[in-house]
Amino acid sequence: MRHRIFIAVTDGALEVFRWSDGRLAQAIREMPETRPLAGAVFLGKVAKLEPSLQAAFVEIGLDRPGLLPLKKQGKQPNEGESVVVQVRRDERDGKGVRLSSSIQSETAYADKLAKATAPACLVPPPSAWQSCLAGLSPESVEEIVCDRRVDVTAVQAWCAIHAPELSPRVRHQPQRDWEPARAEFEEQIAAALEETVTLPCGGNLLVEPVRTLTAIDVNSAAATRRAGMELTALTVNLEAAAEVPRQLALRNLGGIVVVDFIDIDNRNKREQVLQRLRDAAIIDPAIEWVGNISRLGLVEILRRRRGRSLAEMWGAGASAPEGDA
């Protein structure tokens, strides 16, 4: 799997596109006020201990306190005490951020901590392009293209610390000269905002995110013949298995995903579909687990949730993307 990363700032929004093996696999549009907090380090203040949850609610300067689990923590904090915490999961579905007292940060914050009064941010969250690059193996990234020269400097500085071999692959190129063109990015984003994905064979995926999980239904639809050869359920399932991880990455759908493949009685063919799905999952670093396939063709996938979905970033309610003049 080979990746090309494109970075731009358009109308105040940071935009990051990941082009993987000839197709768009990730598209992030991030305004300063919608930047995910996952990874940020705060000096917080314990607002309340909740013994029934074995957790504490910690004020870190947001509208609602974050939840800090205490089950695996040694010394228990007291109400009103200041604690250093890191955001592990962003606020979503009416739930506040989830915190951890186990800090994973390569940014020194001791000097800032000595002068800080809770609540205070000690280490800001990583930017969209930092998170994107951190999830990829350096050898798989062919180039990083920046619309602005100032971003080249920032990306090279980050690469010098985290992935030195990437520094020579960072370059400046205005959006109007990008290849593929921005218009092609926008075309594939528009397609991913639809609930139905058409497969090359004529079958389709029906992608239905709901509050508790995402359901993906594989349908044969118009898949009857191709190249004079009758298509089988296996053919449709194999194409679906290759496409599902890309759709999850592009749509940025996290949590539990259940894929309902077309029923296949033959166990070996079911395993063939599962292997294709697992092989295709390499496109998405956020996929943490792919379960087994049931006799009814159901497969569970667990994908790490980070930031807003594609629909929230690029849908009708978001700022319309504009190309370079």
CA atoms lying within 13 Å on the CB side of residue 116? 21
Q: Sorting pLDDT into bands at 50, 70 and 90, what band is 105? A: confident
List 325's β-bridge partners, or say none. none
Q: What is the CATH number of domain 41-123?
A: 2.40.50.140
Look at residue 77 and give its three-state secondary structure.
coil
Which pLDDT value is given to residue 162?
Answer: 94
Q: What mean pLDDT, rounded, does the chain reach?
A: 91
The encoded tokens of residue 109 equal 């914050």
The model carries a pTM of 0.88
The residue among 251 and 320 whose pLDDT is bigger is: 251
Which top CATH class is 3-34+127-186?
alpha beta
pLDDT of residue 318: 59
* Separation between Cα atoms, residue 164 and residue 110, nearest integer Å: 26
Fold of 193-311: 3.30.950
pLDDT of residue 325 exceeding 90, the answer is no
Across residues 309-322, what is the average pLDDT? 70
- Mean local confidence (pLDDT), 42-48: 97
pLDDT over 60 (residue 155): yes
Q: What is the predicted pLDDT for the residue at 146?
A: 98
Domain ranges of the chain: 3-34+127-186, 41-123, 193-311
